[in-house]
């Protein structure tokens, strides 16, 4: 194909794999991210165009949208991650990284995850929406955590899914689709930032029906499909890619 695809958070991890999948199909791919050196390296590796941008910063997002220009066909909002894992481990307790007894700490932790996982997608989508061509696709990346996690990360991803469902109704008349990919555990990424124990890993894989961890390619192929002509009647949906760890009907 010969589309123009924008992938936020495309400098590493799942975002980079998704960007590479579209690039392999002949698409022009723009990747964004905060770490300029890593972004430039990834762009050179996969043949993408880099634009340094913090997706939670309105000014940077506006500048990125102007640099990307009109004529986009696909937007994949990959930027995000559980910001709780970026917080320093607590020394006073074996509980999580948020001091639940300190409301200021709770507020900071929740705002960080909402900014990273909800606001980033809202800002980017809003900024480039006018430049998306009819027949285009908006793909947001959620999480299985939206279904059960009593954390700011799970809440942010649940809000992302709800917002995307409403967004579909807004952009549908323009010939655009909007969907969420909701991954379960995916191996080969730094999502847990070294905090995934063997016991937890065994539990996550044991919850699947196929007995394996998800792979980055599982998400990349799903994103490619949602942006393909065969998926034009799929919109407003959350597609769960978790090996059966969470089922719907």
Residue-wise pLDDT tens digits, 181-236: 999 999 988 776 767 789 988 999 999 999 999 999 999 999 999 999 999 999 99
Q: Confirm if 180 and 161 have CB atoms less than 8 A apart.
A: yes
Say if 100 falls within a structural domain: yes
pTM, entire model:
0.93
Say if 247 falls within a structural domain: no
Say if 64 falls within a structural domain: yes
Return the C-alpha torsion angle 150, 155, 156, 157, nearest 10.
Answer: 90
Domain ranges, residue 89: 4-241
Say if 26 falls within a structural domain: yes
How many domains, in total, are found in the chain? Answer: 1
pLDDT of 43 over the 90 cut = yes
Q: Which CATH number covers residue 133? A: 3.40.50.720
Residue 40 CB: number of other CB atoms within 10 A? 15
Say if 246 falls within a structural domain: no
pLDDT of residue 197: 86
Say if 218 falls within a structural domain: yes
Say if 24 falls within a structural domain: yes
Residue 173, burial from CB neighbour count under 10 angstroms (0-12, 13-18, 19+): exposed
pLDDT of residue 125: 99
Reply yes or no on whether 153 is catalytic.
Answer: yes
Of residues 55, 127, 146, 153, which has the active-site annotation? 153
Residue-wise pLDDT tens digits, 65-76: 999 999 999 999
């Amino acid at each position: 194909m010969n589309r123009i695809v924008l992938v936020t958070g495309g400098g590493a991890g799942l975002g980079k794999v998704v960007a590479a999948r579209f690039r392999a199909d002949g698409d022009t791919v723009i990747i964004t991210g905060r770490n300029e050196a890593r972004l430039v390296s990834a762009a050179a590796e996969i043949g993408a165009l880099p634009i340094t941008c913090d997706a939670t910063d309105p000014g940077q997002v506006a500048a990125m949208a102007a640099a990307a220009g009109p004529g986009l066909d696909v937007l994949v909002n990959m930027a995000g991650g559980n910001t709780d894992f970026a917080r320093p481990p607590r020394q006073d307790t074996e509980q999580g990284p948020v001091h639940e007894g300190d409301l200021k700490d709770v507020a900071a932790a929740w705002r960080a995850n909402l900014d990273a996982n909800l606001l980033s997608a809202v800002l980017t989508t809003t900024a480039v929406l006018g430049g998306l061509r009819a027949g285009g696709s908006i793909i947001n990346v959620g999480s299985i955590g939206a279904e059960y996690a009593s954390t700011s990360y799970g809440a942010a991803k649940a809000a992302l899914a709800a917002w995307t469902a409403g967004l579909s109704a807004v952009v549908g008349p323009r010939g655009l689709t909007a969907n969420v990919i909701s991954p379960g555990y995916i191996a080969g990424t730094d999502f847990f930032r070294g905090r995934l124990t063997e016991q937890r890993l065994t539990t996550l894989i044991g919850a699947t029906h196929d007995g394996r961890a998800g792979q980055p390619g599982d998400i990349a192929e799903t994103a490619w499909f949602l942006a393909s002509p065969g998926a034009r009647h799929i919109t407003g949906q959350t597609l769960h890619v978790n090996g059966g760890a969470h089922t719907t009907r």
